[in-house]
C-alpha cells in the first residue's frame, strides 16, 4: 500500500471531513494540489472508486468478514468496469478501506491485547497459589522440616520466575533457610501479585488520562487568543485558495462574452405546427430583451453590441424542423464569424416551454415558444444567457437541489436565472460564468459543487 498516498487521503479527511469521499469532483481538485506527486494511475484508480460510490458500500461493512467479502467484490467490479489491473484495483480498494475504517480498528485491538495481558497474569497467579497451597498441605501432614525447606525453596523459585517474566517489580526478596516460613511466602507472593494488579490498573488509568487530555486539547485548544486568530486566518486563507481553484477549474474553456453579438431570429414550422403569426410583431419583444442584456452588461462595465437579423426564409416560406437536433445542426449555417458570438433563436408559433439545446463547442439552438400571453422577452433573455454559458438557479429534480433555489432566492432574489417570469436582474455567479464579473467569491464554489449537470448532455431547459 502506498503509505504516502494514504497519509495524504487521511489529511484531506481530517481537514474536510469524511464526507469528502462522496464528492469526486472536489476530491479531484484536492488531489491536484496535495497528491500531485503521487503516481497518476493510483490517483486515477482511487478516483474511480469514489466516482462509482464505493465509499458508501465499504462504510456499511462493519465486521471484518463482511469487509473482506465486500472488498473482493469491489475489486472484481472495478477491474471489470474500468479495465484497471487487478493489482491496482486491489491496492485502491485497500486504500479506501483503510482510510474509512482507520479510526474504528485501532483502539479495540489495543484493548483486547491489554485484556489478554491481565488474563495471562491472573492465570499465572492462580497456578502459583494452587501449587503453594498444595505444598503447604503436604507440609502440615508430613511435619518435616526438610520438606518445609524444600517447599519454601520451590515457593521462592516460583516467586523469582514470576518477577522475571513480567518485569513489573525490581525488588527481590532474599529469604534465608532459617527464618522463612510457608505462611510468609504465601503472604508475600499474594502481596506482590496485588501490587502488580494495582500497578497495572494505575497504568491503565494514566493511559486513559493521557488520551483524554489529548482529546480535550484537540476539541478545546488552550492557546493565546492571538494564536487562535492567526490560525483561523490561515485556515480561512487556505480554504479560500482551494475554493478558488474549484472555480478556476469550472471556467476552464468557457468564453468571456463581449464585443459584437449577432442574434438571428428564425421563425420555423415545428413538426406539424405551422408558423402563422407576423414575424414583425416580434421586433418590440426582441428589442426589449436585448436592451435588458445591454443594461446588465453596463452594470459590469462590459462593452457589448447587438445586431439582430430577422430571417423570414426564402419566398415567404418558413424553415420546417422536426426536432431540436435539426436546429442545432444548422448553427454553422447561421453563424457569422465577423462577430464575436452568434445566437440562433428558432421561434415557434405554439404554446410550450422554451428551452435551449447546446454543445460543448458553444453551438446551440434556442427554441422560443409562445406563452399564454405571447412570446416573452424575459424568457428570451433567460435562454440567451444559457447560450452565453449561464446556468439555472431554480430547483430541477436531478439537476438543481431544492436547497440551491432556497439559498439563492435569499442571496440574489432578483436573478432572471431564478425565474424568467418574475425577475429581471443578473446574479453575480452567472455574470462570472459568462465572463462579466471579474471578482468571483469563494462561496461561488458552493453552487458549483451542488449543481449536477453530468446527466444533461448540455441540454438545458
- What pLDDT is attached to residue 86? 80
Strand 319-321 to 259-270 pairing: parallel
In the numeric block, which cell numbers belong to residue 218?
484537540
- CA–CA separation, 20 and 461 (whole Å): 30
Delineate the domains of the chain, giving CATH numbers in brackets.
3-108 (no CATH), 253-460 (3.40.390)
- What pLDDT is attached to residue 202? 58
What is the rounded radius of gyration, in angstroms, for the C-alpha atoms of the chain? 38
- What pLDDT is attached to residue 244? 78
Task: List, in order, residues 6 or more apart from 435 with CB less than 8 Å away.
Answer: 254, 255, 256, 257, 258, 389
Q: b or e along 221-246 (b: 16 or more beta carbons within 10 Å of the residue's beta carbon)?
A: eeeeeeeeeeeeeeeeeeeeebbeeb
- What pLDDT is attached to residue 313? 64
- What pLDDT is attached to residue 93? 87
Report in angstroms the alpha-carbon separations of 43 from 47, 67, 88.
Answer: 6, 22, 10
Alpha helix (H) ranges present in 86-177? 86-142, 145-166
Residues in the chain: 461
Q: Is 345 helix (H, G, I), strand (E, B) or coil?
A: strand
- What pLDDT is attached to residue 203? 57
- What pLDDT is attached to residue 315? 63
- Which parts of the chain register pLDDT below 50? 103-114, 117, 139-140, 142-151, 154, 156-157, 164-165, 167-180, 223, 453-461
Q: Is 33 helix (H, G, I), strand (E, B) or coil?
A: helix
- Name the strand (E) or helix (H) holding 205: helix 182-219
In contact, 275 and 318? CB cutoff 8 Å:
yes
- What pLDDT is attached to residue 112? 39
- CA–CA separation, 144 and 451 (whole Å): 93
Helix 64-82 vs helix 40-51: crossing angle, to nearest 10: 110
Amino acid at each position: 500500500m502506498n503509505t504516502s498516498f494514504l497519509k495524504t487521503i487521511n489529511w484531506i479527511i481530517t481537514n474536510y471531513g469524511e464526507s469528502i469521499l462522496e464528492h469526486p469532483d472536489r476530491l479531484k481538485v484536492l488531489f491536484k494540489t496535495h497528491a500531485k506527486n503521487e503516481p497518476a494511475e493510483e490517483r486515477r484508480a482511487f478516483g474511480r472508486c469514489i466516482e462509482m460510490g464505493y465509499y458508501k458500500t465499504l462504510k456499511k461493512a462493519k465486521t471484518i468478514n463482511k469487509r473482506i467479502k465486500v472488498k473482493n467484490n469491489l475489486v472484481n467490479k472495478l477491474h471489470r468496469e474500468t479495465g484497471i489491473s487487478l493489482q491496482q484495483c486491489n491496492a485502491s480498494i485497500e486504500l479506501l478501506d483503510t482510510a474509512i475504517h482507520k479510526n474504528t480498528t485501532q483502539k479495540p485491538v489495543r484493548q483486547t491485547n491489554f485484556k489478554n495481558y491481565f488474563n495471562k497474569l491472573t492465570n499465572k497467579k492462580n497456578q502459583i497459589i494452587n501449587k503453594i497451597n498444595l505444598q503447604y498441605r503436604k507440609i502440615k501432614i508430613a511435619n518435616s522440616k526438610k520438606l518445609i525447606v524444600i517447599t519454601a525453596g520451590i515457593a521462592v523459585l516460583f516467586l523469582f520466575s514470576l518477577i522475571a517474566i513480567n518485569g513489573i517489580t525490581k525488588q527481590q526478596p532474599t529469604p534465608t533457610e532459617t527464618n522463612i516460613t510457608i505462611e510468609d511466602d504465601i503472604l508475600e507472593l499474594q502481596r506482590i501479585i496485588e501490587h502488580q494488579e494495582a500497578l497495572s490498573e494505575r497504568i491503565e488509568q494514566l493511559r486513559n488520562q493521557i488520551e483524554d487530555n489529548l482529546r480535550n486539547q484537540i476539541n478545546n485548544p488552550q492557546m493565546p487568543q492571538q494564536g487562535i486568530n492567526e490560525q483561523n486566518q490561515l485556515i480561512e486563507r487556505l480554504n479560500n485558495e482551494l475554493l478558488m481553484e474549484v472555480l478556476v477549474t469550472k471556467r476552464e474553456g468557457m468564453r468571456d462574452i463581449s464585443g459584437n453579438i449577432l442574434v438571428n431570429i428564425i421563425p420555423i414550422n415545428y413538426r406539424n405546427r405551422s408558423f402563422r403569426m407576423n414575424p414583425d410583431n416580434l421586433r418590440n419583444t426582441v428589442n426589449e430583451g436585448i436592451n435588458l442584456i445591454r443594461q446588465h452588461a453596463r452594470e459590469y462595465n462590459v462593452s457589448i453590441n447587438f445586431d439582430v437579423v430577422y430571417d423570414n426564409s426564402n419566398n415567404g416560406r418558413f424553415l420546417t424542423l422536426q426536432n431540436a437536433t435539426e436546429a442545432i445542426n444548422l448553427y454553422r449555417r447561421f453563424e457569422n464569424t465577423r462577430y464575436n458570438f452568434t445566437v440562433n433563436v428558432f421561434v415557434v408559433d405554439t404554446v410550450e416551454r422554451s428551452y435551449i439545446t447546446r454543445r460543448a463547442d458553444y453551438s446551440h439552438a434556442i427554441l422560443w415558444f409562445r406563452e399564454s400571453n405571447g412570446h416573452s422577452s424575459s424568457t428570451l433573455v433567460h435562454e440567451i444567457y444559457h447560450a452565453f454559458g449561464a446556468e439555472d438557479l431554480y430547483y430541477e429534480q436531478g439537476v438543481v437541489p431544492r436547497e440551491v433555489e432556497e439559498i439563492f432566492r435569499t442571496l440574489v432574489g432578483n436573478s432572471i436565472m431564478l425565474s424568467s417570469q418574475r425577475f429581471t436582474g443578473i446574479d453575480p455567479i452567472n455574470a462570472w460564468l459568462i465572463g462579466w464579473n471579474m471578482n468571483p467569491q469563494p462561496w461561488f464554489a458552493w453552487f458549483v459543487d451542488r449543481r449536477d449537470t453530468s446527466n444533461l448532455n448540455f441540454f438545458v431547459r
